[in-house]
Amino acid sequence: MSGHSKWAQIKRQKGAADIKKGAVFTKLANAVTIATREGGGDPAMNFKLRLAMEKARAFNMPKDNIERAIKRGTGELGGAALESVVYEGFGPAGAALIIEALTDNRNRTAQAIKSLLTKYGGTFGAPRSVGWMFQARGVVRLTKPEKYSEDKELALIELGAEDIIHDGDELVLLCTPETAAALKDKLVHEGWIVISSEVELWPKNPVNFPAGAEGEKFSALLAALEDNEDVQNVATTAVL
């Protein structure tokens, strides 16, 4: 699973760079708006909104921006009508992809994603062609302490981690989507350094991706998809 974690790390690095041009704020605001529209404007009662707000704060998004995004979701403020769309497809060497986007123009977004897939050797897939290969998981990433022991690992399991993946100087904890926020709160209370807490589509059976030119092409495709302003998340079965 290190490849999947590696891509998450790349996304965080890209997100930090994108702040300079403001692109990431648009994506974060759209996610808050949609979460509000789907479940209401109270983060205590809307798990999806709470995670969207936490992610926005992690990128230092101003409080006023978050509040405006919530008001757009509740209808207190106007703005373009956004909707969630999900595209399924395949990258180079047949690696499965699920691309989640928020858009005010389905045709524009579909054409843009289709163009990127074609450019980098991928193809669009039919609905439900690859969705069965993934499952929603709560994913909490931590800074791995210098002195990490079996006792600490057992403590993480007792707090609610169902699986623990070692990824360099990070720990990736997997749990159910519904318990991700609570697990994060427990970890913070216990003094762990939490990097992020999200709900992600996770491959049921990750596949090692070929190295070399095909691997570089696939990485370029993932980066190009993430650069699209409508794309919120990209999940893949490939381990890079």
Residue 8 domain-assigned (yes or no): no
Does one domain contain both 230 and 117? Answer: yes
CATH code of the domain in which 186 resides: 3.30.70.980
Q: What is the pLDDT of residue 17?
A: 57
**Mind listing the pLDDT tens digit for each residue in 211-236?**
788 888 899 999 999 889 899 999 99
How many structural domains are present in the chain? 3
**The whole model's pTM is what?**
0.77
- Please report how many Cα atoms fall inside a 13 Å half-sphere around the Cα of residue 193, on the Cβ side: 6
CATH code of the domain in which 50 resides: 1.10.10.200
Does one domain contain both 144 and 193? Answer: yes
Q: Residues 92, 17, 41, 71: what is their CA dihedral angle, to the nearest 10 degrees?
A: -110
**Mind listing the pLDDT tens digit for each residue in 102-153?**
998 999 999 999 999 999 999 999 999 999 999 999 999 999 988 888 999 9
Question: What's the CA gap between 164 and 142, in Å, rounded?
Answer: 10
Report residue 8 CA to chain centroid gap. Answer: 7
What mean pLDDT is predicted for residues 7-17?
Answer: 56
Does one domain contain both 117 and 139? Answer: no
Does one domain contain both 197 and 149? Answer: yes
Q: Classify the phi-psi angles of 168: left when phi > 0, otherwise alpha if psi is within -120 to 50, otherwise beta.
A: left
Domain residues for the domain of 27 are: 14-74
Query: At a CB cut-off of 8 Å and minimum separation 6, what does 64 contact?
Result: none
Question: What's the CA gap between 39 and 73, in Å, rounded?
Answer: 9
Which residue in the block uniquely carries the two structure tokens 């904890």?
173
Does one domain contain both 210 and 226? Answer: yes
Is the pLDDT at 157 greater than 60? The verdict is yes
Query: At a CB cut-off of 8 Å and minimum separation 6, what does 178 contact?
Result: 47, 138
**Mind listing the pLDDT tens digit for each residue in 15-37?**
555 555 467 888 899 999 999 99
Residue 140 domain-assigned (yes or no): yes
Q: What is the pLDDT of residue 4?
A: 55
Residue 5 domain-assigned (yes or no): no
